[in-house]
Amino acid sequence: MKKTPERVERLAAEYVLGTLTGGARRRFERWMMESWAIRQEVWFWEHKLGELAARVPPVAPPASVWTRIEQRLWPETSSAKASTGGWNWLWAGWSLMATAAVMVMAVLLMQQPEPSRQPLLSGAVVQKDITDPLWLVAESGEPGQLRLKPVAATPAEGNQDYELWVVPEGDGNPMSLGVIPVGKDMLQIRLSPETRAALSVSRTLAISLEPKGGSPTGAPTGPILHITKLHPLE
Q: Indicate if the pLDDT at residue 196 is higher than 70.
A: yes
Q: Indicate if the pLDDT at residue 141 is higher than 50.
A: yes
Q: Write down the pLDDT at residue 45.
A: 77
Q: Write down the pLDDT at residue 162.
A: 94
- What are 100-109's pLDDT values in tens digits? 454 555 444 4
- What is the identity of the amino acid at 28? F
Average pLDDT estimate for 28-38 = 76
CA separation, residue 67 to residues 60, 149, 220 (Å): 14, 55, 67
The mean pLDDT value of the chain amounts to 75
DSSP E strands: which ranges in 104-159? 121-125, 135-139, 145-150
Q: Write down the pLDDT at residue 109.
A: 45
Domains and CATH numbers, the chain: 5-54 (no CATH), 63-111 (no CATH), 121-232 (2.60.40)
Average pLDDT estimate for 49-73 = 65
Higher-scoring residue by pLDDT: 6, 51: 6
Confidence of residue 181 (pLDDT cuts 50, 70, 90): confident
CA separation, residue 112 to residues 100, 105, 109, 116, 222 (Å): 19, 11, 5, 12, 49
Q: Write down the pLDDT at residue 114.
A: 46
DSSP string, 152-212: S--PPPSSEEEEEEE--STTPPPEEEEE---SSSPEEEE--HHHHHHHHHH-EEEEEEEET
Confidence of residue 164 (pLDDT cuts 50, 70, 90): very high
User: Which of 49-63, 138-152, 179-193 bottoms out in mean pLDDT, i.e. has the lowest?
Assistant: 49-63
Nearest to 151 by CA among 188, 184, 189, 123: 184
CA angle 213, 147, 155 (to 5 degrees): 40
Q: Write down the pLDDT at residue 4.
A: 80
Is 0.75 surpassed by the pTM of this model? Answer: no
- What are 201-215's pLDDT values in tens digits? 988 999 999 999 999
Q: Write down the pLDDT at residue 172.
A: 82
